[in-house]
Structure 1
Amino acid sequence: MPKPPVDLALYLVTGRGLLPPGKDYYESLEESLQGGVTLVQVREKKADTAEFLEVAVRTVGICNKYNVPVLINDRIDICLASGAAGVHLGQTDMPISIARQLLPKDAIIGISAGNVDEARVARDAGADYVGIGALWWTESKQLVKDVLGVRGVGAILDVLAGSPTRSVAIGGIKSTNLLRSMHGAVGPDSSRTLDGVAVISEIVGSTTPKAAAANLKKLITAFLGSSPSIITIASGPRTPEALVSGVVKLFQTIREETPIIHQITNNVTINSLANITIALRASPIMATTPAEMEDLAKIGGALLVNFGTITDKAGMLAAGHHYNRNKKPIVFDPVGVGATAYRKAAAKEILNTWQATVIKGNGGEIGSLYGSSEVASRGVDSVGQAFSDPAKVVRELARRERCVVVMTGKHDYVSDGEHVLRLSNGHELLENITGAGCMAGSCVAAFCAAARLAQPEPKDEDGRLVRGDMLVAAIGGILALSIASEFAAARTDVHGSGTFLPALIDEVYNLTPEKLLSKAKIEVLQ
């Protein structure tokens, strides 16, 4: 008879050294169980055998009252002596095959895995689960490996796809990054997500562990109960007509609501981005100081992070964190990301720290994030031939990054990981002014803010980082600028790039639903 699967959703790893002053370990443990902990691992690195056994026996007794299994870290002898349900092994501990021989047949055996090879070995050895991490930097234990990062989990989950071996993430997970941790940790084909998270200090270090556990459990349950797809809520069929109709509704919402668009951008195009935002009838705020970000995230409708000059990385990291916490959309424009090693490292740090809603870039930038050599970067420009299969690139990158991806060029490609659209508006003069791509990012952010306003908040937590149809929002931002460019280029007062830029801002200001409906060129490729 197969053993029943263990509930990995909220996995508590004990650590008596992290208890707040005056808080008893057993009292804290029972309160955490009352808050919703589903599995407990007893971890005692400094206790001698007698003390470890006493802690284990009492822990098992308390957890039995709540029908919550207990695992023992490393020590098979303590597991057997205490009546625990199984063990959690490290990479330098006893092999799983030997542990299976020593433990009862129904014992649970988990093992830590920090890379694909370790996960593959664990899977082949029949591990019940792997603990993947460390996901974030943590002071709960001394790390012997580099932090894996949220985006490093996907390849490990892919190894586990199709096997009974399940997974939890561990390392620095807190209520403030839990949704980002679970949403961002996904296999490249999105077929496998985490089964839960392992938490230490957020619960053990709390003076109110019941409330801490209950808050975490609420977030986890909401995520596990929601669709594991991209962060977007479709509001209708994905036909060109329906998409343009959705764009027009968001355009009208911008005009009616004037959402605040918080922009951290490069110092070359900051004035153009502010002006294009105003032309759409949104309200720009250009602020970069990290200390302001918590307050700004409460009032902002959306955030644009454009790291063309990367002088405000601390502000970018802080802003994204707080916009994620407030479930507000974030547009990431990785300008020139493929040009230098520093830009690549900065983009990796940013995307591991917070969840982007939309990533927008030219072919070189998208190619760099995707890991392709077909299209390269020269500064902020793309060089080389177009992708042989651009639809595949944007779709796979969207699935991997769990967001909407926009790749601009002669044709613009947009994907939410499921659908791929090709947009064919725009005028060649856009290529001859500074910041056309940056302005597109501002327009996308404005439409994302409108999409969130158009989608009412649920009464209960729904497990998503952002609500609203972000695919339509991304399409809307690109169409607004590109269609306006066609009207601007046709004006008799436009004689070249110098007169084109102010005309472009004018035509964004003069956009109407009728212009969008009549000019939009959208093809549904997938």
Structure 2
Amino acid sequence: MSKKVDYSLYLVTCRELLPPDKDYYESLEESLQGGVTIVQIREKTAETREFVEIAAKSKVICDKYNVPLIINDRIDVALAVHASGVHVGQTDMPVDVVKRLLPVGSIVGVSCNNLDHVKTAIDDGVDYIGIGSVWATKTKSLTSPLVGVRGVGVLLDALEGTEIKAVAIGGIKSTNILRTLYGAVSQSGHTLDGVAVVSDIVSSNDPQNAAANLSGIIHKFKAQEHLGPAMIGTPLTGKGVLRQALQIFDAIKTTSPLVHQITNTVVSTQSANITLALGASPIMATSAKEMQDLSKIPGALLVNIGTLVDDTKEGMLASGLYANLARKPVVLDPVGVGASQYRKDAIKELLDTWQVSIIKGNAGELAALSGTSEVESKGVDSVGDGFKDPISFVKNLARKERCVVALTGKVDYVSDGNSVIALHNGHEMLGRITGSGCMVGSCIASFCAGQTSLPHDDEIITRGFANQYMLYAAVGGITVFNVAAEVAVASGNVRGTGTFLPALIDALYHLSLDEIVLNADIRICT
């Protein structure tokens, strides 16, 4: 039976990280005042007498705030100071021995890095597991591979049906804690019970405020957690979705929001021109050195890996991280991700570093991203007829990645993990020009930027995480682009692929609300 313990903000001490002239006990008490809910004393180099003294004084402080004290590794120290429990690693004393030595009711936690570790922990009947490392960390040398934010969900799946709690550890700080909480979720929706923090609190000159900031983020997230992937939950209708899309379309025209694009150099000019035709303002910047400044300008970010190289990848990593911190929507276009292991590794790194709002791709790209072999790809193109059940596929991928997913093809499918919308517009000419998919990404990002210019009540919703607002943006961006293609061909100005692209840009530039309403074919699937 799991003890009634609040694991939400789990402090792991490390005296070596204290600022100069900062007293350890003073720092500990201030962190408790800031909202730390459980403390683990970790002393890898202290002699036994010193360790016992530190633990005993720490327990007095923790008892003052009714916070459990856990000892890392050392059962003897835990017994000496009457600590609440012990945390052990995979190479430390076996859990069954630990449980025999500790008093009944003691808390026992164990570090887990893979599924086998979790299964063993379940069999051993531990109270909680520490999953990590989630991020790269300098507080301890890593002997096991990084789990990554998205890898945590796989381990959480194994805890279904148990009372064992889960805490993420490794490199967690104020700049990535929300990404950790939001992205670390199982297929069934099992989320973390807490996060373990070291340097962000211990190294602070003001640990009380550092802890309070982290605690505030955790509580705000947990207040939203029950809302699930679709944070609004309003029942959808085709007309209702179209009405929302038109509202965003109008906002783009009136506010000209910035759309920052790190995109395929093959179609960079077309993407910029498409963005301008919609009424938005493009900036095609790739250097990691300017990403923090660019994130301060309201709008949206598009990351397209079509011509991926190491230098642009560094810019992509930085841009998404700063966009998350600035609550800006992030659109990811995993162009040709199935073509090479380099691209697959890059996408994994990007998705483990920042939270994406919308993933847009064709069947081959999304199949490669999800790890299924149902659809093959050839370069940037899909091979075959696509998924047998595209509706279930996009819904499941949206739930797994905690974002809106747009599957493009003859019929486009968009899902937030709750609803699925089928879009039946477009023209075959789009498949005969280079970069039509990349330009769709620019349109979606423009609609995300337009959406952020509209008033919203909820702070987390404005972060661009999975919700119906981002669903409207994805549907709107795809619909206006495809309707513009139909209007361009119907104009009689298209004689082939050479004249189609400028006609498409012109049609998008002149596209009216009436033309969208008249032509849009939006159908709710679920």
Q: TM-score range by the shorter chain?
A: over 0.9
Contact 2:330 2:358 in 1 (8 A): yes
CA distance in 2, matches of 1:263, 1:230: 29
Residues 440 and 478 of structure 2 are in contact (CA less than 8 Å); yes or no, is this contact kept in structure 1? yes
Q: Which sections of structure 2, spanning at least 5 residues, go unmatched?
A: none
The answer to whether the Cα contact below 8 Å between 1:111 and 1:122 also exists between their aligned partners in 2 is: yes
Using the alignment, how far apart are the partners of 1:506 and 1:394 within structure 2?
32
For residues 431-470 of structure 1, give each alpha carbon's deviation from its aligned partner in whole angstroms, at most 9, with x where no partner exists: 0011100000011011111222224355xx6587337710
**Which position in structure 1 is the counterpart of 2:197?**
199
RMSD: 1.5
Determine if contact 1:301/1:449 at 8 Å carries over to the other structure.
Answer: yes
Q: Give CA-to-partner distance per residue, 1:59-92, whole Å, 9 cap, x none.
A: 1001000000000001111111101100111111
Q: Deviations over 1:26-56 (max 9, x none)?
A: 0110110111100000001101111111111
3-state DSSP of counterpart to 2:518: helix
Other structure's SS at 1:269 match: helix
Question: What is the one-letter code of the residue matched to 2:220?
Answer: A
Spell out, residue by residue over 1:376-435, the C-alpha distance to the aligned partner (whole angstroms, 9 max, x if none).
111111112311111111111111111000010011011111111111110000000111
Residue 452 of structure 2 is aligned to residue 452 of structure 1: yes
Instruction: Write the distance in 2 (CA, Å) between the matches of 1:24 and 1:75.
Output: 24
Q: Quick check: 1:230–1:417 contact (8 Å CA) kept in 2?
A: no
How many angstroms apart in 1 are the aligned matches of 2:219 and 2:323? 22
Q: Do 1:259 and 1:449's aligned partners in 2 also have CA atoms closer than 8 Å?
A: yes
Determine if contact 1:231/1:466 at 8 Å carries over to the other structure. no
Letter in 1 for 2:335: V
Q: How does 1:195-344 map to 2 (within 5 A)?
A: 195-227=193-225, 233-234=231-232, 236-311=234-309, 312-344=312-344
The CA deviation at 1:519 is 1.4
Letter of the 2:323 partner, please give it: Y
Matches within 5 A, 1:64-463: 64-189=63-188, 191-227=189-225, 233-234=231-232, 236-311=234-309, 312-456=312-456, 458=458, 462=460
Structure 2 equivalent of residue 497 of structure 1: 497
Q: Deviations over 1:136-183 (max 9, x none)?
A: 000001110111111110100110122100111000001001111111
Partner AA of 1:321 in structure 2: L
Looking at structure 2, the residues matched to 489 and 54 of structure 1 have their Cα atoms a distance apart, in angstroms, of: 80
2:69 partner letter = V
**Distance between the aligned counterparts of 2:350 and 2:10, measured in 1?**
27
Shift of 1:234: 3.1
Query: Secondary structure of the equivalent of 1:331?
Result: strand
Look up the match of 2:37: 38
Deviation at 1:235, TM superposition (A): 7.6
Deviation, 1:319, is: 0.5
TM-score (norm 2): 0.97
Q: 1:358 to 1:140 in 2, by over 3 A?
A: same
SS of 2:158's equivalent?
helix
Task: Specify the code of the residue in structure 2 equivalent to 1:242.
Answer: G
Gaps of 5+ in 1: none
Distance 1:406 1:481 in 2: 14
Distance in 1, matches of 2:171 and 2:280, equals 37
Q: Distance in 2 between matches of 1:316 and 1:274?
A: 18
The TM-score with structure 1 as length reference comes to 0.97
The whole-number CA distance in structure 2 between the counterparts of 1:403 and 1:491 is 37
Q: Identity rate of aligned residues, in percent?
A: 53
Where do 1:460-479 residues align within 5 Å?
462=460, 465-466=463-464, 469-479=469-479
Rounded to whole Å, the distance in 1 between the matches of 2:226 and 2:406 is 21
Partner of 1:225, secondary structure, is helix
CA distance in 2, matches of 1:97, 1:515: 70
Q: Which moved more, 1:146-155 or 1:90-99?
A: 90-99
> Partners in 2 of 1:224 and 1:290 — Cα distance?
32
How far has the Cα of 1:228 moved from its partner?
5.1
Distance in 2 between residues matched to 1:69 and 1:372, nearest whole Å: 44
Alpha-carbon spacing, 1:295–1:441, altered in 2? closer, same or farther (3 Å): same
* Rounded Cα–Cα distance in structure 2 between residues aligned with 1:367 and 1:375: 6
Q: Choose 225-234 or 114-123, whichever is displaced more.
A: 225-234
Give the drift of 1:3.
Answer: 6.4
Q: CA deviation at 1:364?
A: 0.6
CA contact (8 A) 1:230 1:404 kept: no
Note if contact 2:109-2:126 (Cα within 8 Å) is conserved in structure 1: yes
Count of aligned residue pairs for this structure pair: 522
Q: In the alignment, residue 97 of structure 1 is paired with which amino acid?
A: D
Q: Which moved more, 1:396-405 or 1:513-522?
A: 513-522
Aligned CA distance change for structure 1 residues 413 and 283 (closer, same or farther; 3 Å): same
Per-residue CA deviations over 1:108-128 (Å, capped at 9, x if unaligned) read 111111111111111222111
Q: Which stretch of the first structure deviates more once superposed, 231-240 or 132-141? A: 231-240
**Pair 274,325 (structure 1): closer, same or farther in 2 beyond 3 Å:** same
SS in 1 for 2:338: coil
Q: 1:159 to 1:3 in 2, by over 3 A?
A: closer
Stretches of 4+ moved more than 4 A in 1? 228-233, 461-464
- Deviations for 1:292-337, whole angstroms, at most 9, x for unmatched residues? 1111111140000011001311111111010000010000001000
